[in-house]
Structure 1
Amino acid sequence: MSKKKVVVILLVICIVIATIPLLIHKNSEFGGSDGHAEELITEINPDYKVWADPVMEPPGGETESLLFCLQAALGAGVFGYGLGVLRERHHKENKPL
């Protein structure tokens, strides 16, 4: 099997894995772990007072999602760059001049 076919098959598998949960759980809200933790804390101790405030409050949920996506993209870029550097270093060390 050629590399192109393998890449296409893997991309299709990734898309299927990402879309199946969304199709199965229709009309569901995918909340973050922060909201869930806050609910559990108030359930356990209703008198709990928050001792830290956010440095910046985003104007809306869309802005928060955008910042999260930018953070993920930056992390993926740094990770990919590091892998590229390691791969090139490996190729240079193993090739005779």
Structure 2
Amino acid sequence: MKKNLVLILIVVLLAVFPLFIQKGAEFGGADGKAESEIGNIAPDYEPWFSSIWEPPSGEIESLLFSLQAAIGAGFIGYFVGLNKGKHKKFTQKRKEE
């Protein structure tokens, strides 16, 4: 229990610490930086394809991204828990034999 609390505290500090060190900094994504760098390297570059749908605002884009991450984490967590439960049931069954 104590180890979990320490790990949670470390994760929170890792997430919050940069916000205090870099006050007023913009934390943009890698997509924007990559796009500007490609423009610097090859100004005549044309993308192969464009997006099917653009979200109306950055907030909705963030919402969809976090929703996608939450669904993925739930999916992974479900199968990890399911396999752990199967393993625990299997080991208990072997101990009884």
* TM-score of the aligned structures, taking structure 2 as reference length: 0.89
Q: Structure 1 runs of 4+ off > 6 angstroms?
A: none
Length, aligned pairs only: 94
Note the alpha carbon deviations across 1:23-67, whole angstroms, 9 max, x for none.
111111111111111111110111112221101100011011001
Same amino acid, percent of matched pairs:
47
Residue 6 of structure 1 and its aligned partner are, at CA, apart by 2.7
Q: 1:12 aligns with which of 9, 12, 35?
A: 9
> What TM-score do the two structures reach when normalised by structure 1?
0.89
Is residue 2:78 matched to residue 1:81?
yes
Cα RMSD over matched residues?
Answer: 1.2
Q: How does 1:1-97 map to 2 (within 5 A)?
A: 3=1, 5-96=2-93, 97=96
User: Where does structure 2 lack aligned partners over 5 or more consecutive residues?
Assistant: none
1-side partners of 2:31 and 2:14: how far apart? 25
